[in-house]
Amino acid sequence: MLAIKNQKRINLIYVLGSLFFYNAYLLQKYFNLGIFTNTYITNQYQFNYQNCGFVARGLLPSILEFLGINNQFGYYALYNVVVLLYACLIVYISGLYEIKNRNLYIIASLFFFFGIPHFTIEGLRTDSILLLNTLIVFILLKRKQYIPFLIISIFTLFIHEVAIFLFVPVIFLLLEGKEKWIYSFILGIVFVGIVLLSNKITEQQAIEILQRVNEEEIAYGNYALYILNTKESIRFFFGEVGVALFLVYGVFYILALFLAFKALFTTKITAFRWLFLMPLVLCFVAVDYPRWYCFVYFLAMLYALHYNLFNRKAFIYIALVTVLFGIPKGTSYDFGVLPFLFKLLSKIL
């Protein structure tokens, strides 16, 4: 009984610690530097159904606009709730399995680069919603509550269609036989429908939408994603972003993951344990590689928990890659020893 009470106190510290970390870094980065509004409010939450018809990823901003949550404080409060729920669900899911290193698992899932740090680096992007809903889907599948699972899954695909690259690995992890194929097929149909039937807006529409909340000159990169097709966006971002560096870092991230969880890589391919790597498919069509690396680690932790592969050695490997390489984001890497040395050398040379 005493051990249970102590664990509950520790869990509370984890949850509150997640909120503190998220707010401390987000406030420092976006309020103190004065780029919060121009970068994230305009980019992420101004493109929606009402203004542009059926646009992929327009469901969430449409709902927020309908509810009157269309300002800086509203978004900030909303994502504090998301972080709170995410931390609680990580703690809850870790308790569903009997693992020796439960506290280390929670620390890794929350405070390494693919957890709360990813939320802060990506600001108010939909990634946090996708990861939160993936945890909800995980719990619903564990409980065999298939109708709620389908509703939340389809709803999430309309928030951002890449959620399918998180949901399918979870489906194959927890379901057996025909069920995993049937539910994956249903979500696949929805995914294809969203991709094929949603609109691309014009450049003029994009500028007009952004100007509603941003009176300054609108940078092309702020709306390029919404007006370019896949081929054009890849060409644009390969020219604008240091993609080569992302690829180099990616090799080391995957190597560290292999050393941490060799069993996930060495089983027969028919076991489908390799599906936690599914987000890497996105690297062929979207150059936000650091986001997909975070997705892979997020799924790998769920797989490792399910197969009881998480241990101190795995914790050390993932801790080292976090400390050395830092937290990946859209244009560079934060907090890591190597990124710091690169920046220092660039100033000296």
- State the Cα–Cα distance between residues 163 and 159, nearest whole angstrom: 8
| Domain boundaries along the sequence of the chain | 230-349
Helix (H, G, I), strand (E, B) or coil at 334: strand
Work out the number of other CB atoms within 10 angstroms of the CB of residue 225: 17
Under DSSP, is residue 252 helix (H, G, I), strand (E, B) or coil?
helix
* Coil, strand or helix at 328: strand
Taking only the tens place, the pLDDT of each residue in 307-327 is 999 999 999 999 999 888 876
pTM above the 0.85 mark?
Answer: yes
CB 89, CB 106: distance < 8 Å: no
Tokens at 45, concatenated: 């939450």
Q: What is the DSSP letter of 219?
A: P
Residue 326 zone, left/alpha/beta (φ > 0; ψ -120 to 50; rest): left
Q: Could you report the per-residue pLDDT of 180-231, keeping only the tens digit for each?
A: 999 999 999 999 999 888 877 777 777 676 666 555 556 666 666 666 666 6
The pLDDT tens digits of the residues spanning 249-305 come to 888 899 999 999 999 998 877 788 899 999 999 887 777 788 899 999 999 999 999
- The separation between CA 197 and the C-alpha centre of its own chain, rounded to angstroms, equals 24
pLDDT digits (tens, 9 = 90+) for 92-117: 999 999 888 999 999 999 999 999 98
Question: Of 22-26, 32-36, 104-108, 241-245, which gets the smallest average pLDDT?
Answer: 32-36
pLDDT band, residue 49 (cuts 50/70/90): low
Q: Which residue has the tokens 């889907």?
A: 137
The DSSP letter of residue 113 is T
pLDDT over 90 percentage in the chain: 43
Six token digits for residue 208:
């007009």
144 pLDDT more than 70: yes
